[in-house]
Amino acid sequence: MVPHLVTALNGPINELEQRVLDSMSAIERWFRLEWMEHTPPFYTSVDVRNAGFKLAPVDTNLFPGGWNNLTKEMLPLAVQAAQAAIEKICPEARNLLVIPENHSRNTFYLANVLQLVHIFKMAGLNVRVGSIDPAIKSPKKIELPNGESICLEPVVRTKRRLGLKNFDPCTILLNNDLAAGTPGILEDLHEQYLLPPLHAGWSVRRKSNHAHSYEELTKRFGKLLGIDPWLINPMTSKADGVNFAEGMGTDVLTSHVDAMLTKVRRKYKEYGINEKPFVIVKADNGNHGMGVMTVRDVKELEALDKKTRGKMSSARSGLEVNEVIVQEGVLTNERVHNGVAEPVVYMMDRYVVGGFYRVHAERSSDESLNSPGSSFVPLAFSESAHMPQPGAKPGASAPNRFYMYGVIGRLAMVAASYELEATNPDAEVYE
């Protein structure tokens, strides 16, 4: 199944698909050389939008949830990637501790944690789940809707190590994005591997840093393919000092939005695209679908109601929003079962392991789909779907379309690798 692409302008995306397929060996060599110089994030998910004339990542998550949306057919790939990742970091690893988010009542989220437990058990590790939630004071078994259950145990901190009662892990996997800040219990672990590192959390990470890294990469990648980098890059700018709650900095935001809409109009004119430009304003420090709004005209900023200001003034975990990014809006012209859809690509180590479509029947093609009411349809990776099929007509082959998504997902992952290096507090500095 290749999702229905609802656009008269699918010529350019088919052309891009053809360029990507024709350059496959050069692309794979390019990624190989990048990974010789840089370390991939431990695991990553990337939201991709396909406008029919442009294909670009709009969000890169370094603590991906949603592993329970991957099909059974995708699990062998995830297990192999997990083995490769662990072998690189700690070949003698035996015990792995998974630390989830604190919202232990969300059974859908916990099904994702259990899927991670299954993946790493099949990769040959003893896996247990340790909660840093102060409310968890003794082992807590939670029944999940699919009939399985998960046990959350309180973590035990000694001077230099973190573990559980009678369980001493050499590796700790965070599935907690640290949006509320870095808890002291996770700091100063000198004898254990913490994956991803603390500075990948939203208390440190900024979308604007990621956008800058990604833009620089697309310039080089665009040269490799002989394409305009804009076809794979959502233009982004950063607006500081914006306080929605107090109505401060709206002039700064207005000028950024106006400038971005002008740039997008220019590009649409250049490519003969007859669509209405829009921008997405979102919190610079993570959101999970919170602190996000679509703006189609600067006049909309003058008329923000109290509800929208309230929604935009805080991100997840009550974080105050005073830095936002203004990102070129990328339409999603893909449809699954008549619902607007966007592919989400899942990666572990340097490998694409699967993904799904996020579908939202009540949202339009220029709105965020990461909101209540969305559903998930597995990407139709059949047995050989990861292997592109040269010679297939562009736009008709599922493997080719998914290979293209994987290329964009991996590009965003390389950008995340650059971003983590730049923000690493322990990085060696060469004078």
Query: What integer pLDDT is reported at residue 365 of this predicted model?
Result: 83
Query: What integer pLDDT is reported at residue 293 of this predicted model?
Result: 85
Query: What integer pLDDT is reported at residue 1 of this predicted model?
Result: 38
pTM for the model: 0.91
Query: What integer pLDDT is reported at residue 59 of this predicted model?
Result: 94
Closest C-alpha among 331, 391, 321 to residue 364 = 331
pLDDT at 385 over 50: no
Query: What integer pLDDT is reported at residue 229 of this predicted model?
Result: 96
DSSP per position, 310-376: HHHHB-GGG-B--EEEEEE-----EEETTEEEEEEEEEETTEEEEEEEEEETTS-TTS---STT-EE
Question: What does the chain come to in residues?
Answer: 431
CA distance 58 to 177: 18
Between 212 and 322, where is the model more confident? 212
Going by pLDDT thresholds of 50, 70 and 90, the confidence category of residue 80 is: very high
Query: What integer pLDDT is reported at residue 393 of this predicted model?
Result: 64
pLDDT at 221 over 80: yes
Q: How many CB atoms lie within 10 A of CB 201?
A: 23
User: Mean pLDDT, the chain, as a whole number?
Assistant: 86
Between 260 and 311, where is the model more confident? 260
Going by pLDDT thresholds of 50, 70 and 90, the confidence category of residue 391 is: low
Q: What is the mean pLDDT of residues 109-118?
A: 96
Radius of gyration of the CA atoms of the chain, in A: 21
Structure confidence by residue, pLDDT tens digits, 185-196 = 999 987 899 999
Between 384 and 15, where is the model more confident? 15
Query: What integer pLDDT is reported at residue 140 of this predicted model?
Result: 95
Q: Are 371 and 353 a contacting pair, CB within 8 Å? A: no
Q: What is the mean pLDDT of residues 46-54?
A: 90
Residues paired with 279 in a beta bridge: 295, 328
Q: Are 396 and 4 a contacting pair, CB within 8 Å? A: no
Query: What integer pLDDT is reported at residue 100 of this predicted model?
Result: 96
Q: Are 49 and 318 a contacting pair, CB within 8 Å? A: no
Q: What is the mean pLDDT of residues 105-110?
A: 91
Q: How many CB atoms lie within 10 A of CB 25?
A: 8
Between 410 and 160, where is the model more confident? 410
Strands (E) in 37-102, as ranges, are 43-50, 55-61, 95-100
Closest C-alpha among 223, 241, 352, 330 to residue 280 = 330
pLDDT at 430 over 60: no
Structure confidence by residue, pLDDT tens digits, 327-352 = 999 998 888 777 888 989 999 999 99
